[in-house]
Structure 1
Amino acid sequence: MKKQLFFLSLFTILVSSSLLAQKNTKIGAFMAYGSEIENLGLGLNAEFDLTEKLALSPSFIYYLPKDEYGFKANWWELNADAHYYFLQEEQINVYGLGGLNYSHIKVSYENAWGYGGDYSASDGRFGLNLGGGINFNLNEKWLPFAEIKYVLIDDGQLVLGAGIKYVIN
């Protein structure tokens, strides 16, 4: 599983770096909410225009650690999405998205119920993303955005996100 994550990350980095010279490269930060973990996350994303209507958008979300009943959960996800812009107006751009997801969770607890010992387990899964979003054209350099997607993985997770992108070139 670690090899798959390594190769997915390497592929994303290689494709991203080769596309940096493209017009309208954007980088951004956002806040997200995951329905399955029921917690807020912090994310980083980028967007590389492939054509006028199609863009590649890798992202990473780290959900804030959660501690319930002595159990600590750490969850993060890596995404490689494609955005298809079907509405491009002066003030807004609306897109549909689809892509790949890798989600990782680690659950641990220390000295559970006073019996001593530390226990932990982790798991990673691949899934698919389906959703859409909207960019608000504030000016030539800053793009606030909102996005909703459903991650098709096990029980699934709805992810709501909002943030801002900065146009590099």
Structure 2
Amino acid sequence: MRTRLLVTSAVLFLAGIFNASAQDETRLGAMLAYGTEIENLGIGVNAEFPIMENLSISPGFIYYLPKDQSGIDLNWWEINGNANYYFIDNERLVFYGLGGLNYSHVQLDYDGSQFGGGSMEVSDGRFGLNLGAGANFSIGSNITPFAEIKYVIIDGGQLVIGAGVKFNL
């Protein structure tokens, strides 16, 4: 709970700083994602704050839906801080490369009392690197559909495929 409060505060603080300098191009969005390591669907939020021509900062958060495997509950979420570099920009389609930092948190809960055993909870957090690409699709409104694919370089690694919409502020 404390971590979520800190993350939310940091995102809002950054939003305030960048919103003052690039208000007309700032975007907030929502997405669905699939992680290959967890093999599950996630929901997420992200933002884009332009800092230079063709470059933006893009913080994001993905919460993967909880999973129950043989009495073990798995909870997984990740925080991302990426830089997006736009290298192809035409009227309808904008491609970008992305790179940045990732923090992934995994928690396992086991309740063995039904089998005569005890309960156990284990959690771990790791830092990794993101490398990937994405595309924004212009539909002529304040809503911008997008798609991204990234690889998280971390123990075991994870490919994350995501799609959603960004709202221009």
- Name the TM-score, length of structure 1 as normaliser: 0.91
Partner of 2:74: 73
CA distance in 2, matches of 1:54, 1:90: 18
Task: Check the 8 A contact 2:63/2:76 in 1, yes or no.
Answer: yes
Partner of 1:59: 60
1:53-132 maps to which residues of 2 (within 5 A)?
53-111=54-112, 114-132=115-133
Task: Check the 8 A contact 1:128/1:152 in 2, yes or no.
Answer: yes
Using the TM superposition, give the Cα deviation of residue 139 of structure 1 relative to its aligned residue in structure 2, in angstroms.
1.6
Q: What is the number of equivalent residue pairs in this alignment?
A: 167
Partner of 2:13: 14
RMSD: 2.1
Q: Which moved more, 1:65-74 or 1:16-25?
A: 16-25
- Name the TM-score, length of structure 2 as normaliser: 0.91
Q: 1:7 to 1:117 in 2, by over 3 A?
A: same
CA distance in 2, matches of 1:127, 1:6: 22
CA distance in 1, matches of 2:47, 2:92: 20
| Amino acid corresponding to residue 66 of structure 2 in structure 1 | P
Q: Which moved more, 1:8-17 or 1:112-121?
A: 8-17
**Structure 2 residue runs without a partner (length 5+):** none
Q: Give percent identity, aligned residues only.
A: 52
**Structure 1 residue runs without a partner (length 5+):** none
The superposition leaves residues 118-147 of structure 1 with CA deviations (integer Å, 9 ceiling, x where unpaired) of: 211000000000000000001230100000
Q: Secondary structure at the match of 1:23?
A: helix
Using the TM superposition, give the Cα deviation of residue 82 of structure 1 relative to its aligned residue in structure 2, in angstroms.
0.5
Q: Secondary structure at the match of 1:44?
A: strand
CA distance in 1, matches of 2:10, 2:153: 22
CA distance in 1, matches of 2:29, 2:11: 16
| Amino acid corresponding to residue 117 of structure 1 in structure 2 | G
Using the TM superposition, give the Cα deviation of residue 50 of structure 1 relative to its aligned residue in structure 2, in angstroms.
1.0
